[in-house]
């Protein structure tokens, strides 16, 4: 009898526990995009065709923290006042929950009309017919007369535009000049190269400080490949885009050496950095951070010392550099009010009063008019970021197409082998081979 | 007469109705749906595509991370559960001797089990085991020197195992109840015969407690296989360093919600069910060699 009860209990437990397993969300770390700015404005929203308009309800979804939620709600209110026939229902969540909510909505054909989209997901949603092609709306709903083509094309997959660029970011190195002096240098030379980087990392290691906190492999290796005229993924996304493993060996050999020299921390150290407050640059243990331009503002604020920004090492900086959409605005394919949805996106992108509320928090505004109008309202750090983006517009090339499906798994492979190299458990030569094999196996699934 | 009987039954069905409906909709149907999905390629957006046994084949032949996650989970379960049970028994025996304020002690020792699975405790654990955390400070005072818990895959796994040992409360309570049920006359008789504490423990306590040990072992093993939250939080959802804490359910979660491979994740869930069922059966089968049932007059 006892045995039976136990058996039954054990079985029910297996099932109920198995059912519990997926209830927990935690914190997948993300780069919350943001930017700088404040604004003055043109007025492109609010159409005055007059006459009665049919009432329209739009659902709009975004991810973000509290400050973003607050000002976005204000922008919505402003739009509704100018367009009384439109009601916008906001649906917002943090990054994690956002994607977990969006996926089932897509499965049920119930996606919101306006969706804030990320580069990492746009392929997944775009190629599975979840997002509307925005090409027909260019200059016919969305005013792109003040926006560079490279910026608009950031949301392009093949010949379809699945998302409209909401703001711009670029890669940089941010450093503390005072810390740099400790290794006998006043500033990073304008025309520095990866060889200079190797030397600086070695010097920093010898001086007992970190030169950097490591580089996100999928981002900076991709830059390195671009400098060498290669791409991380092939155009059709079914395999890796570079065929010379020597590039992998050179790049990861370099970052591995930086760790072995003590100029860059081991991954376990980086894993324990909890936030900007903990960053070695802030704690005066390190010289620099490799990151996106919008992150300069946060770093500067927390460090509370004069910091500098600098372009990435050469050669071929222009070929390597690209402008990255911090996020997109997409319209769902199942939306019944695509035109109204597009009008709101136009308001968000081009309206100066709206952008005075947004202040570049979603990345440097893409419209040159909005950008100029915001400038007088910016803090000095924000001006630096805006100026850098202006510089980068001239000194960059077209971004790689959005990541293919399976990129999340490839990123994880990068992380795995990067860790193993930095803990000196595998040589870059071996890692290059294994990485290629496994990454190609993942990407080959896109062939069907 | 018949309508009367029907009415009587109807009342009964009405009472169990909510459970039956809930069970069907939220448990039974999803279980079978996941069985179907495990034979398909399903990304949540497009209709599932039938693959036959491909998901299962890939798992065992072409997915090194799967093998790694299986290895890590086995280490976690078979390293953690015995230690946890031993510790629970140890504390239960201590509490069993305490005469005063036993209720208070019981509550205090049970507390970690209530909060142990929570996100907050996992975050606390991260900090305790950090390079400059409390654990390393203590180790340094003891002259052992710090361990880099986040650099060595095995050390990181031990960090998780320590967390699971610390949540010994529920087994401890059950042990405590079992200990209270052992007749004092047995110990008295043994004392008269000159048995010392060690003899009494191995000849009386353990055999008398064996059904409860079996029960705890099975429950804890099943629970350990399902562990998700600590691994997810402590490794920031990645299972690092170098996949050292990539527990089965964490990898399953990543397949499902990071890579959108619901079919593959479902297949993994079914294999997990089989593994857990198999190990439970083994434990039950082993019972006749070591579990002593007083009610049947002993073996």
Q: Give the residue, A65 or A50, on which the prediction is more confident.
A: A65
CB B221 within 8 A of CB B77: yes
Average of per-residue pLDDT across A322-335: 92
What pLDDT, on a 0 to 100 scale, did the predictor assign at position A97?
79
**DSSP conformational letter for B257:** I
Predicted confidence band of residue A312 (pLDDT cuts 50, 70, 90): very high
What pLDDT, on a 0 to 100 scale, did the predictor assign at position B149?
85
B254 in a structural domain: yes
Instruction: Please state, in angstroms and as integers, the Cα–Cα distance from residue B117 to each residue in A269, B4, B21, B91, B122, following that order.
Output: 25, 50, 29, 20, 8
CB A364 within 8 A of CB A293: yes
What pLDDT, on a 0 to 100 scale, did the predictor assign at position B272?
95
Strands (E), A122-271: 156-157, 160-161, 164-169, 171-175
Residues 249-268 of B with CB under 8 A from A: 249, 252-254, 256-260
State the distance between the two ends of chain B, measured CA to CA, in whole angstroms: 51
pLDDT in tens, A248-272: 999 999 999 999 999 999 988 888 8
Residues of B in contact with A269 (CB under 8 A): 131
CB A130 within 8 A of CB A111: yes
Average of per-residue pLDDT across B212-237: 91
Residues of A in contact with B271 (CB under 8 A): none
Predicted confidence band of residue A135 (pLDDT cuts 50, 70, 90): very high
What pLDDT, on a 0 to 100 scale, did the predictor assign at position A18?
46
pLDDT in tens, B93-145: 988 886 677 888 888 888 888 876 688 888 888 888 888 888 888 888 888 77
Range of the domain at B200: 56-296
pLDDT in tens, B82-92: 999 999 999 99
Instruction: Please state, in angstroms and as integers, the Cα–Cα distance from residue B213 to each residue in A246, A295, A367, B177, B217, following that order.
Output: 58, 55, 70, 12, 6
Average of per-residue pLDDT across B67-75: 95
Mean predicted lDDT score pLDDT of chain B? 88
Predicted confidence band of residue A302 (pLDDT cuts 50, 70, 90): confident
What pLDDT, on a 0 to 100 scale, did the predictor assign at position A5?
57
Q: Provide the percentage of residues in chain A whose pLDDT is more than 70.
A: 88
Residues 419-448 of A with CB under 8 A from B: 419-420, 423, 425, 438, 441
pLDDT in tens, A79-101: 999 999 999 999 998 877 788 78
Joined tokens for residue B262:
């619901």
Interface test with B, best of A416, A420, A430, A435 (most B CBs within 10 A): A416
A92-106, A186-200, A330-344, B35-49, range with the lowest pLDDT: A92-106
B289 in a structural domain: yes
CA angle, A411 then A224 then A255, to 5°: 70
Joined tokens for residue A184:
């006998």
Which residue is it, tokens 């999803």?
B30
Q: Which domains does chain A have, with CATH numbers?
A: 56-167+326-380 (3.40.190.10), 171-321+406-447 (3.40.190.10)
Average of per-residue pLDDT across A126-149: 91
B50 in a structural domain: no
What pLDDT, on a 0 to 100 scale, did the predictor assign at position B116?
67
Predicted confidence band of residue A6 (pLDDT cuts 50, 70, 90): low
- pLDDT of A12 over the 60 cut: no
CATH code of B102's domain: 1.10.3720.10
Joined tokens for residue B195:
């048995």
B45 in a structural domain: no
- pLDDT of A35 over the 80 cut: no
Nearest CA in chain B to A131: B45
pLDDT in tens, A399-408: 888 888 888 8
Q: A27 in contact with B at a CB cutoff of 8 Å?
A: yes
What pLDDT, on a 0 to 100 scale, did the predictor assign at position A64?
82
How far apart, in whole angstroms, are the C-alpha atoms of residue A194 and residue A171? 15
Predicted confidence band of residue B296 (pLDDT cuts 50, 70, 90): low
B252 in a structural domain: yes
Q: Are strands A56-63 and A114-117 parallel, antiparallel or unpaired?
A: parallel
Q: How many Cβ atoms sit within 10 Å of the Cβ of residue A408? A: 17
Radius of gyration of chain A from its Cα atoms, rounded to whole angstroms: 24
Q: Which residues contact A11 (CB under 8 A, 6 or more apart)?
A: none
State residue A313 phi and psi, 5-degree precision.
-65, 150
Count of the separate structural domains present in chain B? 1
Mean predicted lDDT score pLDDT of chain A? 85
Predicted confidence band of residue B167 (pLDDT cuts 50, 70, 90): confident
What pLDDT, on a 0 to 100 scale, did the predictor assign at position B112?
81
- pLDDT of A19 over the 70 cut: no
B44 in a structural domain: no
Nearest CA in chain B to A441: B62
B213 in a structural domain: yes
What pLDDT, on a 0 to 100 scale, did the predictor assign at position A25?
36
Which of B222, B243, B272 is opposite residue A10, by nearest beta carbon? Answer: B222
Average of per-residue pLDDT across B185-209: 89
A217-221, A300-304, A340-344, range with the lowest pLDDT: A300-304
CB A79 within 8 A of CB A347: yes
Predicted confidence band of residue A4 (pLDDT cuts 50, 70, 90): low
What pLDDT, on a 0 to 100 scale, did the predictor assign at position B8?
82
How far apart, in whole angstroms, are the C-alpha atoms of residue B268 and residue B274? 10
What pLDDT, on a 0 to 100 scale, did the predictor assign at position B109?
85
Residues of A in contact with B229 (CB under 8 A): 24, 26
- pLDDT of A45 over the 80 cut: no
- pLDDT of A292 over the 50 cut: yes
Whether the ω angle into residue A399 lies within 30 degrees of 0, i.e. cis, is no
Q: Which residues contact B274 (CB under 8 A, 6 or more apart)?
A: none
Joined tokens for residue A435:
């990485």
**DSSP conformational letter for A190:** T
B31 in a structural domain: no
How many A/B residue pairs have CB atoms within 8 Å?
A: 121
């Amino acid at each position: 009898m006892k045995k039976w009860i136990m058996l039954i209990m054990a079985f029910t437990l297996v099932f109920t526990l198995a059912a519990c397993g997926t209830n927990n969300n935690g914190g997948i770390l993300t780069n919350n995009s943001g930017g700088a700015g404040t604004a003055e404005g043109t007025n492109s929203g609010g159409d005055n065709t007059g006459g009665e308009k049919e009432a329209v309800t739009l659902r709009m979804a975004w991810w973000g923290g509290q400050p973003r939620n607050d000002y976005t709600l204000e922008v919505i209110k402003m739009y509704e006042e100018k367009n009384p026939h439109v009601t916008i229902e906001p649906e917002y969540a943090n990054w994690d929950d956002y994607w977990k909510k969006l996926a089932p909505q897509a499965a049920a054909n119930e996606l919101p009309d306006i969706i804030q989209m990320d580069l990492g997901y746009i392929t997944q949603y775009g190629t599975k017919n979840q997002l509307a092609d925005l090409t027909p709306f260019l200059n016919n709903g969305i005013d792109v007369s003040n926006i560079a083509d490279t910026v608009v094309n950031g949301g392009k997959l093949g010949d379809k535009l699945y998302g409209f660029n909401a703001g711009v970011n670029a890669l940089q190195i941010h450093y503390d000049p005072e810390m740099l002096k400790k290794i006998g240098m006043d500033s990073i030379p304008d025309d520095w190269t990866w060889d200079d980087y190797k030397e600086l990392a070695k010097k920093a290691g010898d001086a007992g400080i970190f030169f950097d906190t490591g580089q996100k492999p999928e981002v900076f290796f991709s830059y390195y490949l671009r400098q060498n005229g290669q791409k991380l993924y092939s155009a059709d996304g079914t395999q890796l885009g570079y065929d010379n493993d020597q590039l992998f060996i050179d790049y990861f050999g370099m970052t591995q050496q930086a760790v072995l020299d003590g100029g860059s921390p081991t991954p376990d150290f980086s894993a324990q950095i909890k936030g900007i407050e903990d960053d070695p640059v802030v704690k005066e243990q390190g010289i620099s951070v490799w990151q996106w331009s919008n992150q300069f503002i946060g770093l500067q604020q927390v460090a509370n010392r004069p910091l500098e920004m600098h372009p990435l090492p050469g050669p071929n900086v222009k070929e390597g550099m690209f402008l990255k959409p911090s996020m997109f605005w997409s319209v769902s394919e199942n939306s019944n009010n695509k035109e109204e949805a597009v009008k709101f996106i136009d308001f968000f992108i081009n309206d100066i009063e709206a952008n005075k509320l947004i202040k570049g928090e979603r990345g440097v505004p893409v419209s040159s008019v909005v950008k100029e109008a915001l400038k007088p309202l910016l803090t000095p750090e924000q001006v630096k970021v805006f100026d850098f983006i202006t510089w980068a517009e001239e000194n960059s090339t077209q971004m790689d197409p959005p990541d293919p499906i399976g990129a999340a798994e490839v990123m994880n492979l990068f992380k795995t082998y990067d860790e193993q190299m930095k803990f000196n458990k595998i040589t870059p030569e071996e890692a290059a081979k294994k990485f290629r094999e496994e990454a190609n196996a993942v990407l080959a699934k896109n062939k069907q | 007469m018949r309508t009367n009987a029907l009415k009587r039954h109807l009342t009964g069905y009405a009472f169990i109705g909510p459970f039956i409906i809930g069970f069907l909709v939220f448990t039974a149907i999803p279980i079978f749906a996941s069985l179907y999905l495990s034979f398909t390629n399903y990304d949540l957006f497009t209709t599932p595509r039938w693959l036959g046994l491909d998901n299962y084949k890939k798992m065992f032949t072409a997915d090194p991370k799967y093998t790694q996650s299986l290895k890590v989970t086995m280490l976690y379960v078979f390293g953690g559960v015995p230690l946890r049970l031993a510790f629970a028994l140890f504390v239960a025996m201590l509490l069993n001797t305490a005469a005063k304020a036993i209720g208070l002690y019981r509550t205090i020792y049970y507390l970690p089990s209530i909060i142990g699975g929570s996100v907050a405790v996992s975050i606390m654990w991260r900090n305790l085991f950090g390079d400059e955390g409390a654990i390393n400070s203590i180790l340094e005072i003891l002259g052992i020197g710090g361990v880099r818990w986040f650099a060595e895959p095995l050390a990181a796994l031990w960090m998780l195992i320590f967390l699971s040992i610390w949540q010994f409360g529920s087994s401890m309570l059950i042990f405590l109840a079992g200990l209270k049920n052992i007749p004092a006359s047995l110990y008295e008789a043994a004392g008269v015969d000159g048995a010392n504490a060690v003899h009494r423990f191995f000849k009386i306590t353990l055999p008398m407690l064996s059904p409860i040990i079996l029960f705890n072992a099975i429950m804890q093993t099943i629970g350990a296989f399902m562990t998700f939250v600590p691994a997810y939080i402590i490794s920031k959802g990645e299972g690092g360093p170098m996949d050292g804490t990539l527990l089965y359910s964490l990898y399953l979660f990543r397949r499902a919600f990071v890579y959108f491979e619901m079919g593959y994740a479902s297949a993994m869930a079914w294999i997990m069910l089989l593994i857990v069922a198999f190990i439970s059966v083994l434990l039950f089968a082993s019972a006749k060699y070591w579990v002593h049932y007083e009610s049947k007059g002993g073996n």
